[in-house]
Structure 1
């Protein structure tokens, strides 16, 4: 886990972005830890930070960066992070069952017509015949941990194709990438800003789209501690306002493409501070633009997709069968669908 902090300052936005002032004075200079991954899919947090949307709500934000979803859930439960954006995992659901965390909104979604997460094959597996998801039977499928979103996606894809795969837990995204490129695992699924650059080299091939198997998949959610959700409503609403503004800016520039070319370029440069920052801008630019997926407007949450995920975790015996949607989700903050 790494941290990055900056105190921002910005005047109130005008027009539709301006929101009611109620509760804001009480939040002045409130320190806030936001959990994230260095993925384009976490762009709402980065935009809200860089453009002062957190600051205008009274927050002094510090990012805590993680390598996988489950450690982030633990950080929320322990108080090391206040709010986070990540995929639903078995660890998160189990912490919700213990009364430690709550999902309060949606972030990244698969959407028809927008290029989404890819199914990948190693070159060795591809040359041996793994040229489509139908050929996954008996193959080694990389995941970070058992009960991760990668486990969920791989299992649903395999079930749809009527095959069985061997899941190989490798703990970190970087380790999964290394194993795929060297042929230690055969397949994986990942967001397009990572998938496409990998497939540009000789070691990895794209063999399918996750959206063909999981349409309208709620890929990531916004979550916090049960204490924040239940007792810190003004603060939680303010966080969601800031994230929603960040998501709106991101969608306009890179998904709907309703901004000018200059504004789009500004957005890509902003995201590059956090995504593929170890690469020169020109080398990272294409993957950021081509990897843009829809961020939920107003942090709306697709509860139908979340319910499917919860049902899968229960059916696999990865979480208790007594856990309900009310255990996992506080649906009072955002629009649900």
Structure 2
């Protein structure tokens, strides 16, 4: 009898301990630590939405945001292990790192889509008054880019190609940071630039530049930004990488519904705009920043699907310009096993 009583007491104590564990919410497994590279641009809105709405945590990820000013430094950080995932444009530096087997592109993000405004081609007021009223007149003019091999460089190529202008006849001005290009265009130090609408429309509204065209007229279906990670994460950390893609994709759905397709409720648009405002154009009054976001958002591919044709075209262009080695193959750069291929 005593033996039975003791066993029963032990069972009750064990049950109580188990209930206490559940009550205190101890996780079944530790969260996976992830460093995410971001740039304070509207195109990175899903990074911030997923962070603030707990989508990363829901997938067992403990995410820290790491801030960058341009695509190339982010690629270097991914390769060195200082960041785990990045969402930005393909750069020459990123592609070269793929040849060293340290980086893989695993998805697509921002995309040009016919019928949406997309990136806007701008002229400085000074250049516009001097006759630069169309991309057809870019020969002999200066065009702002962040770095050689950046998305701005590729857009200049597509615009020049469509207008039968040798790119060598356009003076490309590498200014390292988006803010520096904004300043140079506003002050007339450069003649032209192409940038996503959230920034372009603000420059136009402020009277600092004039619209002379749309990138989508020259590069429809252009995969502007991609999702990338280290080769090690892509090959050996599949659970973590798939969890990241699921969390980010959920935020992309929120972003597209609110700012691109305009199918979200007014309350949700407001809530999402407040999240983004914490990170993007935080120096502006909320209503102005919200207007910029609502009027200037570009589509981000659902579930981070990747336009393989567009990114392969970009790879071929980098090779043709001698910015990366001819020996780099699509298989070195792209891991197509994670997302839908368009």
Query: What residue number does 1:124 align with?
Result: 126
Shift of 1:217: 0.6
Q: Which runs of 5+ in 1 are unaligned?
A: 1-23
Q: Report SS of the residue matched to 1:319.
A: coil
Output aligned runs, 1:274-285, within 5 Å: 274-285=279-290
Structure 1 residue 162: Cα displacement: 1.6
Q: For the residues of structure 1 that align with 2:264 and 2:146, how far apart are their CA atoms?
A: 36
Instruction: Give the drift of 1:25.
Output: 5.3
Q: Find the aligned partners of 1:25 and 1:328 in 2 and give their Cα distance.
A: 36
User: Does residue 156 of structure 2 align to residue 154 of structure 1?
Assistant: yes
Q: How many residues are aligned here?
A: 313
Q: Quote the offset at 1:215 in angstroms.
A: 0.2
Identify which of 209, 212, 216 aligns with 2:214.
209
**2:108 corresponding residue in structure 1:** 106
For 2:162 and 2:316, the matched residues in 1 are separated by 16
Deviation per CA, 1:98-140, whole angstroms, max 9, x where unpaired?
1110000011111122221000111111000000100000111
How many angstroms does 1:29 deviate by?
Answer: 2.1
By how many angstroms is 1:32 displaced? Answer: 1.1
1:272 pairs, out of 277, 300, 303, with 277
- Contact 1:120 / 1:205 at 8 angstroms: preserved in 2? yes
CA distance in 2, matches of 1:303, 1:232: 23
Structure number with greater Rg is 2
Asked if structure 2 preserves the Cα contact closer than 8 Å seen for 1:118 and 1:192, the reply is: yes
Q: After the TM superposition, which residues 75-114 of structure 1 pair with which residues of structure 2 at under 5 Å, given as runs?
A: 75-114=77-116
Aligned to 2:204: 199
Q: Distance in 1 between matches of 2:150 and 2:269?
A: 33
Scaled by the length of structure 1, the TM-score of the pair is 0.91
Greater share of residues in helix:
2
TM-score, structure 2 as length reference: 0.90
Q: Give the structure 2 partner of residue 49 of structure 1.
A: 51
Cα deviation digits, residues 195-220 of structure 1 (max 9, x gap): 00001123211110000000011010
Structure 1 segments (4+ residues) deviating >6 Å:
none
**CA–CA distance in 1 between the matches of 2:77 and 2:149?**
17
**Corresponding residue SS for 2:207:** coil
Question: What SS does structure 2 have at the residue aligned with 1:34?
Answer: strand
